[in-house]
Amino acid sequence: MKLLEEHIRKHGTVLSGNVLKVDTFLNHQIDPALMQAVGNEFADRFKEAGITKIVTIESSGIAPAVFAGLALGVPVVFARKKKSLTLTDNLYTSSVYSFTKQETNDISISKNFLASTDTILLIDDFLANGQAVLGLLEIAEQAGAEVAGIGIVIEKSFQQGRALLEKTGFPIYSLARVASLDNEQICFVEEEVAR
């Protein structure tokens, strides 16, 4: 997605440890017009898949997921990383390791919002090591929900995430595939983003 790649080149910052900081439009401040375009791209790709719900993890996956949900006319459910007074039981749960934060979080979704009758699209902001999506896949399996595909806003193709997720057999659609962050330069994979 050229528009997204342009935003990454213009506003992204490469930090040590192969971290790509995109807090000006996705991970802290949100660019609604860009996120709407991102959501529309996911909706166009998966419009024939019979999606009934979109599932993501708080917090940075919510904006692209909501715009995709709006375009598809379906609800968005997000896995919570922290338990609250209102979310204590009747949950699907999984543990997820965050590459960026270097910590493991238990994520959970209420059983009231995900069922075996659902066909879901998983959306996440980044694909690096694949752990967040694997956690969401585990929750989908617990619910008995059908997974139509995986939508990724930014994929770091030089890390193991894609190879790990390809083993699941689910379609993966990444809108921007970063080939390298070497020498603080953002280089994109020069192939078609859809596989």
Q: How many Cβ atoms are within 10 Å of 5's Cβ, its own excluded?
A: 18
| pLDDT one-digit tens code per residue, 93-126 | 999 987 667 789 899 999 999 999 999 999 999 9
| pLDDT one-digit tens code per residue, 153-171 | 999 999 999 999 999 999 9
Q: How far apart are CA 100 and CA 139, in angstroms?
A: 22
Query: What is the C-alpha radius of gyration for the chain, rounded to an integer number of angstroms?
Result: 16
Q: Please, which residues bridge with residue 119 across strands?
A: 146
Q: How far apart are the first and last CA of the chain?
A: 14
Give yes or no for residue 142 having a pLDDT over 90. Answer: yes
pLDDT for the residue numbered 85: 57
Residue carrying structure tokens 């919570």: 80
Q: How far apart are CA 184 and CA 12, in angstroms?
A: 10
Whether the pTM exceeds 0.95: the reply is: no
Contacts of residue 10, defined as CB under 8 A and 6 or more positions apart, other chains included, come to: none
| pLDDT one-digit tens code per residue, 34-91 | 999 999 999 999 999 999 999 999 989 999 999 999 999 999 999 998 766 566 679 9
pLDDT for the residue numbered 101: 75
pLDDT for the residue numbered 190: 76
**Closest of 100, 95, 105 to residue 127, by C-alpha:** 100
Note if the bond before 16 is cis, omega within 30 degrees.
no
If residue 151 lies in a helix (H) or strand (E), which one and from where to where?
A: strand 146-156
Distance of CA 83 to the CA centre of its chain: 21
Residue carrying structure tokens 């715009």: 67
**Helix and strand counts by DSSP (H, E) for the chain:** 5, 10
Residue 43 identity: A
